[in-house]
Structure 1
Amino acid sequence: MPDALSKTIPIWCVVINRLLFGEVPDDYKLSTPKEVVGASENSQIEALLDGFVNNVKDLGLDLCSLRSVLKKPIRPSWVTPDSVSTDGFIPSTDYHTIICCTVSRRVFGAEMTEDGYIQGAGDDSEGWSHGLTPTLFWRHRDQLLTAVEEDMPDIVLELITTDPDHGVARSEVVTLAPTSFSIGSLSSAKHAELSYDGIVICGGTAPSKTDHKTKDDKPTRILNLLCSDGKLGSRALRSQLPRVPPFITSLANYGSPPKILFLCSTGKDLSIGVALAMLCLLFDDDYGFNSQESSASIDKALVRRRLAFITTAKPDANPSRSTLQSVHSFLMPRLD
């Protein structure tokens, strides 16, 4: 069973429960699959939980708002090829069940393989999905779930070649309220109303025009950072980030604070990194805009708080390690 299912998710369940539902002592307890996580390792993880809770507290999240959405504690439950009962999945009025499903058969003993079977291979979707994505599965689940197994490869091939949205980033433009910053993908921006004072192309192919008219007939300025997708683009971001603050502050005459849209191919990586850097540099702790770059000390704790702010508004934000390293290098050159 992957560590993500046996350890990471159970840890997050306890941390979230302690933060949001601290008055329920039973929800303090760590629950892990006993056949995977031994008693000793379980105790070692429990000893770290207080530190994890404090780390999340330091992010400054709106816990009251989160509790109003979640409403009740969460508990993990596991499904494996060896499962014989689904009693743990009966809906409860006391908690939400997080179902951790693994299709890999467990191999006992020290060896990771048995008769040619590679433990964990079943959870590596690239090995068997034939290009099927979660989005395509849920969109066509009725057809897929009723299909004969022998026909599945041909059906999947047809879906990935005919579905008009396959491979297209469907990230919507999201505004990081209460700031004037928004984040989106290049494809989603084509359908968005261009009511922005400035657009920063953080990665991918930029539009052919350098100016657009907003609904108020004011030109929308575009800054193209000329970063490619992937790790190379994330590394190139390090040298391109210094161009962004003067571009944004130059737009103060259009609106204070100026409305800025950050774009990249997916709306989840480079655009997140650039917006993150600007939130650290141009906004105070109350997210008030300051056209003068902040002279206050910027540290990794501040970066984590700003990133948590972004992911609260945009849960699918997923900046790569290389992107975050570039942000750290730009904001804290002496600490990187």
Structure 2
Amino acid sequence: MDVDFELFSDRKKFEHDARNQIRKHSLDPYNRLHSIAEDIEFVQDVHEKYYSSYPLLANLRCGTWYCDSRKAGGITSHFKSSDGHYNGWSFNLRRPNLHILAHIQAAGGICIVDSTRSGKRMPDSLSKTVPIWCTVINRVLKFRGLANSGGWDIQLYTPPQSVSKQEHAQIESKLLSWVEALATSSYNLPQLDRSLRPIWVTPASTVFPSFDKNTNFLPVICISASRSLEEGTERRRQGYSYVQGAGDDHENWSDGLIPDVFWRCKDELLNATEADFPDVLKCIVGEARSTIHASDWAKLPTPIARVKGLLSIAAMKDLPDSVFDTRIAEEMPVPCIVIRGYPEASASIPVQHVNPTPIYDLVLQGDKKAMERAFKSSLPQCLRFIGQYIGEGRRVCIACETGKDLSVGIALAALQAFFDDNGQLNLERYDSKELKVTKESLRTRLHWIISSRPEANPSRATLKKINEFFMSPLRSGST
């Protein structure tokens, strides 16, 4: 059989060019933000028409583009898709989302917004992670006697269009171990008057069920914001290419724009012409960066309730300018440890010593491994700083870039060093040879942190360094 290689080559080139064009459209901020705006209309329409009495929460991270978290008082949920991936199902005690239970009880239900890229109708976070969460919570509440005895439902519910019967059964077989893990943890769960049940809504939905105070369960409405497309993009008459799940992985396309700034400047961004858009976006991002420390605390640090707020955690972007002003550092009402990372050494970086100012500027320099080593070796100085000020009855704030990782690690070390298993301050613990540190004691103190600051999400590397620190001679030999 004769083959027309020239025709075959032309076809392959056409397909290659088409894929490149789709990829270009999918990464363009103009297309992404207009796609997000289209999905926002769907989310707001569904919420206002059917579920306006329920709080509307964004699921980190993608959901924050589709839901203005300011209207929910900054409250978000953190149901990771990876906890619902096939054969990777999990109820993760580092992301228990217990902080939203009180809001569900108070309102009689809740709406959670997320999205996903092409190939799926809804993200695994909504189709599997949330259902696992609802079932585990229901069973633990019943086990602890916190469930209303009448008609309490402990069944697992998953959307049949996204989860096969086989996968459903596999998830169900693992529930007991997750229930036991939460039931034996140090987390406190509130009492609910009804069991939780997930309900799913997508742009393909034709029926939107309604609920009232007589419904025999508390609805957890899972709203998947984006339309499902095979190719992932679709050209719109309005002059942009629609991108499914446009808010996902924003570091790859947003040019520095973050959801909070998008919601503040949404109209200005969406009203810009395609030609002017790059300049408008650059200007907005630049202004946001330059004014982020223009006032006092942008967001107050999170106190760890179990230790009566003696330790608190913050993100660097929320710190006031005065933290870095050496002229008034001695007057800082809250002593701070500020953790900053720089890929390369720089002589211009100001480094404050532990004394006499109540600011300990911990600068980590070098590549990733060098920063990890420097973090571990700096723990004795950090703990000495913390011990000094909490010993004086002062509260200490610990801040890192995100307020989720390194700051949480140092807070965890301080909780282990200076507070007993009941959260009582005991400064002599750290120097005591009888101080017993186990993975369980560290896990318990991590639960204290997450209970107060749900967004806390320390990396495995950070947790490993804390564990190694307490198990090595460095602890006693450097203080």
Q: Any gaps of 5 or more consecutive residues in structure 1?
A: 213-218
Indicate the larger mover: 29-38 or 161-170: 161-170
Mapping for residues 1-336 of structure 1, pairs under 5 Å: 1=120, 2-20=123-141, 22-23=147-148, 27-64=153-190, 67=191, 73-81=195-203, 83-88=204-209, 90-93=210-213, 94=215, 95-101=218-224, 103=226, 105=228, 124-126=248-250, 131-141=256-266, 153=277, 156=281, 159-163=284-288, 171-177=299-305, 178-190=308-320, 194-196=332-334, 198-204=335-341, 210=353, 220-228=357-365, 231-232=368-369, 233-251=371-389, 255=392, 257-292=393-428, 293=430, 295-333=434-472
- The one-character-per-residue Cα deviations of 1:237-277 (angstroms, maximum 9, x if unpaired) are 2222233333333456x61x553221222322211110011
- The one-character-per-residue Cα deviations of 1:268-318 (angstroms, maximum 9, x if unpaired) are 221111001110122101211111216343222222221121122122222
Shift of 1:86: 4.5
**Residues 404 and 458 of structure 2 are in contact (CA less than 8 Å); yes or no, is this contact kept in structure 1?**
yes
**Residues 264 and 270 of structure 1 are in contact (CA less than 8 Å); yes or no, is this contact kept in structure 2?**
yes
- The one-character-per-residue Cα deviations of 1:125-159 (angstroms, maximum 9, x if unpaired) are 43665654322343345667x75996895565554
Output the amino acid matched with 2:136.
Answer: V
- Could you tell me the TM-score, scaled by structure 2's length? 0.54
- Could you tell me the TM-score, scaled by structure 1's length? 0.74
CA distance in 1, matches of 2:155, 2:276: 42
Output the amino acid matched with 2:421.
Answer: D
What is the percent sequence identity of the aligned residues? 31
**Residues 298 and 320 of structure 2 are in contact (CA less than 8 Å); yes or no, is this contact kept in structure 1?**
no
Query: 3-state SS of the aligned residue for 2:136?
Result: helix
CA distance in 2, matches of 1:7, 1:102: 16
CA distance in 1, matches of 2:418, 2:446: 14
CA distance in 2, matches of 1:149, 1:13: 44
Gap change, CA 1:130 and 1:225, over 3 Å in 2: closer
Query: 3-state SS of the aligned residue for 2:403?
Result: coil
Output the amino acid matched with 2:263.
Answer: W
Query: 3-state SS of the aligned residue for 2:156?
Result: coil
CA distance in 1, matches of 2:245, 2:383: 46
Output the amino acid matched with 1:97.
Answer: V
Query: 3-state SS of the aligned residue for 1:35?
Result: coil
Aligned residues: 311
> Which protein has the larger Cα radius of gyration, Structure 1 or Structure 2?
2
Gap change, CA 1:151 and 1:36, over 3 Å in 2: farther
Gap change, CA 1:172 and 1:268, over 3 Å in 2: farther
**Residues 136 and 166 of structure 1 are in contact (CA less than 8 Å); yes or no, is this contact kept in structure 2?**
no
Output the amino acid matched with 1:160.
Answer: V
CA distance in 1, matches of 2:273, 2:222: 25
Query: 3-state SS of the aligned residue for 1:200?
Result: strand
**Residues 6 and 32 of structure 1 are in contact (CA less than 8 Å); yes or no, is this contact kept in structure 2?**
yes
CA distance in 2, matches of 1:291, 1:264: 24
CA distance in 2, matches of 1:289, 1:268: 24
Indicate the larger mover: 200-209 or 238-247: 200-209
CA root-mean-square deviation: 4.0
- The one-character-per-residue Cα deviations of 1:33-90 (angstroms, maximum 9, x if unpaired) are 21221112112211222221221223312223xx4xx775443333445x232514x3
Q: Any gaps of 5 or more consecutive residues in structure 2?
A: 1-119, 234-242, 323-330, 343-348, 474-479
Report what 1:216 is aligned to: none
